[in-house]
């Protein structure tokens, strides 16, 4: 920036009305230009002098009263009306504010993923990983009497293992996996070309829960709690076929009284 441009912008610089870029440019010029510095100082002094010494004419004391008298009066009864009408609007405003807050917290509540949803993500990840790394089974066997003992010493519970070859769901094998912050048993079944992971682990409480289904990213998930065990079944299989496997799993070697509770 040269002297001419600087001089033109000095007043606005003094009034702090310049953009950041202009201010930087002008400061740079000022650093190397005593003449412009002098000019700035002079203008600044005058500016301060006006602010400090020029008379600020305050209105005469009675002027406000005269103006009030000339304006339409907010009379006392009407003043009361003003209050009530404002209170009424305050109420309406409060109601709207409450409704808004309620709706907002509901939205927030609903948008927080539930424990089941988080777990569903884990289950899908486990399923996908098992297919990806060609590590579908630690113990590849369709013999339930081979698979079940294999878990001994690896888990602190004994998973139920049944082969459903006759029903079209041959057991492929068993695997250890890690879900919900604990080691779990993963049983792998095949139906035609589809693989199905069946996860089992002990439930935290004795409570049983009905069968619930979820669909995510093209995978179908079915989960329930029975006999103190949490079950998650995941596959890209047709949901109807998957449900038929679930029925068999629920019926396997169980005590009477545990029956499928429907899908939701």
Specify which residues 247 forms β-bridges with. Answer: none
Q: In whole angstroms, how close is the CB of 48 to other proteins at the nearest point?
A: 7
Segment 16-35, which members bind other proteins (CB under 8 A)?
Answer: 17
Q: CA-to-CA distance for 77 and 49, rounded, in angstroms?
A: 51
Q: In whole angstroms, how close is the CB of 2 to other proteins at the nearest point?
A: 17
Chain Cα centroid distance, residue 43: 56
Tell whether residue 4 is a contact of other proteins (CB under 8 A).
no
Tell whether residue 55 is a contact of other proteins (CB under 8 A).
yes
Residue range at the interface with other proteins (CB under 8 A); choices 49-57, 96-104, 110-118, 247-255: 49-57
Nearer to other proteins, 71 or 133 (CB): 71
Q: CA-to-CA distance for 251 and 254, rounded, in angstroms?
A: 6
Q: CA-to-CA distance for 173 and 254, rounded, in angstroms?
A: 21
Tell whether residue 70 is a contact of other proteins (CB under 8 A).
yes
- Written as one string, the DSSP assignment of 138-180 is SEE-S-HHHHHHHTBTTBSS------BGGGTB-EEEEEEEEET
Q: Of the candidates 43, 160, 213, 261, which one interacts with other proteins according to CB under 8 A?
A: 43
Q: For residue 167, which of 134, 136, 196 has the smallest C-alpha distance?
A: 196
Tell whether residue 149 is a contact of other proteins (CB under 8 A).
no
Q: Is residue 200 within 8 Å of residue 160, measured between CB atoms? A: yes
Q: In whole angstroms, how close is the CB of 69 to other proteins at the nearest point?
A: 10
Q: In whole angstroms, how close is the CB of 100 to other proteins at the nearest point?
A: 22
Nearer to other proteins, 54 or 112 (CB): 54
Tell whether residue 88 is a contact of other proteins (CB under 8 A).
no
Tell whether residue 92 is a contact of other proteins (CB under 8 A).
no
Q: CA-to-CA distance for 115 and 107, rounded, in angstroms?
A: 17
Q: Of the candidates 20, 58, 108, 133, which one interacts with other proteins according to CB under 8 A?
A: 58
Neighbours of 123 (CB within 10 A): 26
Tell whether residue 47 is a contact of other proteins (CB under 8 A).
yes
Tell whether residue 71 is a contact of other proteins (CB under 8 A).
yes
Nearer to other proteins, 67 or 94 (CB): 67
Residue range at the interface with other proteins (CB under 8 A); choices 50-58, 134-142, 233-241, 251-259: 50-58
Number of H helices, E strands in the chain: 8, 7
The residues that touch other proteins, with contacts defined as CB under 8 A, are 8, 10-12, 15, 17, 42-43, 45-60, 63-64, 66-68, 70-75, 78-79, 81-82, 85
């Amino acid at each position: 920036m040269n002297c001419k441009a600087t001089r033109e912008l000095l007043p606005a610089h003094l009034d702090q009305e310049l953009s950041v870029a202009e201010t930087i440019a002008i400061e740079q010029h000022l650093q190397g230009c005593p003449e412009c510095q002098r000019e700035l100082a002079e203008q600044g002094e005058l500016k301060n002098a006006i602010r400090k010494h020029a008379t600020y004419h305050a209105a005469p004391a009675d002027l406000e009263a005269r103006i009030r008298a000339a304006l339409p009066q907010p009379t006392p009864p009407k003043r009361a009306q003003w209050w009530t009408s404002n209170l009424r609007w305050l109420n309406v405003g409060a109601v709207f504010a409450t409704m808004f807050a309620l709706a907002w917290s509901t939205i927030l509540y609903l948008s927080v993923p539930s424990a089941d949803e988080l777990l569903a993500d884990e289950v899908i990840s486990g399923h996908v990983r098992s297919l990806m790394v060609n590590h579908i089974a630690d113990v590849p066997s369709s013999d339930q009497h081979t698979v079940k003992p294999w878990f001994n010493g690896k888990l602190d519970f004994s998973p139920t293992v049944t082969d459903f070859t006759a029903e079209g769901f041959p057991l492929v094998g068993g695997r250890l996996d890690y879900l919900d912050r604990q080691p779990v048993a993963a049983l792998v079944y095949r139906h035609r070309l589809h693989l199905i992971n069946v996860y089992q682990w002990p439930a935290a409480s004795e409570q049983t829960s009905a069968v619930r289904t979820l669909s995510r990213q093209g995978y179908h998930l079915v989960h329930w709690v029975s006999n103190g065990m949490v079950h998650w079944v995941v596959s890209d299989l047709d949901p109807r076929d998957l449900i038929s496997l679930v029925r068999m799993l629920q019926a396997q070697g169980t005590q009477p009284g545990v029956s499928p509770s429907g899908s939701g």
